[in-house]
Amino acid sequence: MQVSQNLNAPPTESNGVVNVVITGQVGADVLPAIQVSAAQTSDGWALSADFSALGTTSLRIAIKEAGVKVTELAWTGTPHVRVLPSSWTVSADPAAPSVTLTWPSRRPSRWAARIITGDELDIIAVSPDLPLSAITAMQVQASGVDALTVSYIGPPALVWVLQPPLITPSQMTIQWSGPAGGTLESAPSLQGPWNPVPAQGSNSAVLGSPMTNGVPTQFFRVRSN
């Protein structure tokens, strides 16, 4: 996500806000996992972060300059930056999920009475009880900024496409196109629970026929291994 500073506002304006909620796969559930906010004050922006949905309230901050770590410290109080970051990046590292804020040049940030200068600020969850294995959605609420651009940066998405099933009175064959590494899952409803289909091969699976298996409804999807 890229956000520009509200350059048209007077220095004393204090009603701007950027609130970002990251939804992701947490264990077996999809839920709001991370929240990071910036609220405008009379001399900059106050930061807040909430990773408690992952089972941790302990956060650490790494401040870097040109990719080199300047310092790392525990998140305490309400940190403060003079200018909104130009980009916000979320990492779904199961062991240490994080949000990275970056600026095009060196900027000061205030931690209690301490001023630290750098062009990158990493907010890192410490020892989460629940892993964040994937990011599924981002909700952004903003006011008091001139422009806001949401974009995706990462590897190309893996896409699988289910083919029409081949059904006979004795069996049903489900096939899908796409790269290797997909697992066919089934569920009694779109809300789940979703479980891997047993004895599936490469991009295909043979199941009992819906004409004779006594199952009223089945839904199917292909997910990354």
Backbone angles phi, psi at 54, to 5 degrees: -90, 5
Neighbours of 72 (CB within 10 A): 12
Q: How far is residue 116's CA from residue 193's CA, in Å, rounded to a whole number?
A: 48
All structural domains of the chain, each given as residue ranges with its CATH number in brackets, are 2-149 (no CATH), 161-224 (2.60.40)
61-70 residue pLDDT tens: 999 999 999 9
Q: What is the DSSP letter of 210?
A: T
**What does each of the 225 residues of the chain score in pLDDT, given as a tens digit?**
555 444 444 445 557 888 889 988 887 788 899 999 999 888 888 999 999 999 988 999 999 999 999 999 999 888 999 888 888 888 888 888 999 999 888 999 998 788 999 999 999 999 899 888 888 888 888 887 766 666 655 555 667 888 888 999 999 999 988 777 789 999 988 888 999 998 888 889 999 998 888 888 889 998 877
Radius of gyration of the chain (CA): 23
Q: How far is residue 83's CA from residue 101's CA, in Å, rounded to a whole number?
A: 11
17-43 residue pLDDT tens: 888 899 888 877 888 999 999 998 888
Give the pLDDT confidence score for residue 149 in this predicted structure.
66
